[in-house]
Amino acid sequence: MDLKLSHCFISVDDHDKALAFYQDVLGLEVRNDVKYEGMRWISVGSPAQPEVNIVLEPPGVDPNATAADRQALIELQAKGLLRGVNFATDDVDALFERVAASGADVLQAPMDQPYGVRDCAFRDPAGNALRFSQVSRKS
C-alpha cells in the first residue's frame, strides 16, 4: 500500500496577499482558485511536486466550528500561533535573501542546526510561521 501526502492546509485571512506571497515571492504555482458561498480556497504547489497541494483557506472553515471557535482561530492567527509548513530547498541562503527582500517578517536568519540542516524562518502575510531548510553538506 502506497501512502503519500496530497494536501496540507494553511489558514489565511487575505487571499490576495497570500497569493502575492506564495506565488510571486516563493514561486509556487496556482493550481486551483475556488470561490463558494462567500469563501475562497486557493491551491498552490511547487512545480517540482505536482502531487502535493497547499490549500490556502479562511480560518475556521470547518462546518462544525462554532462562531466562538472561528473567532478564537482568527485571534490565534493574528498572534502568529497557528502552524504553517516546512519547505525544503537546495539553497536556503538564496531563498532567505529573496524572501527577506520581499519585506516578509523574518523569524530566523539562516543558521546551521545540530540536527543536520541549515534553515531559516519567516511569517507569511497572515502570520503563519514557515520554515525553509536545506540538508547540511558534510565537509
In this prediction, residues 7-27 reach a mean pLDDT of: 95
CA neighbor of 15 nearest in space, from 81, 59, 51, 50: 59
pLDDT at residue 59, rounded to an integer: 82
Return the top range by mean pLDDT from 27-31, 66-70, 71-75.
Answer: 27-31
pLDDT of 112 higher than 90: yes
What is the Cα–Cα distance from 47 to 28, expressed in whole angstroms?
7
In this prediction, residues 18-24 reach a mean pLDDT of: 97
In this prediction, residues 48-66 reach a mean pLDDT of: 89
Grid cell locating 1: 500500500
Mean residue pLDDT of the chain comes to: 91
pLDDT at residue 76, rounded to an integer: 87
pLDDT of 83 higher than 80: no
In this prediction, residues 91-100 reach a mean pLDDT of: 97
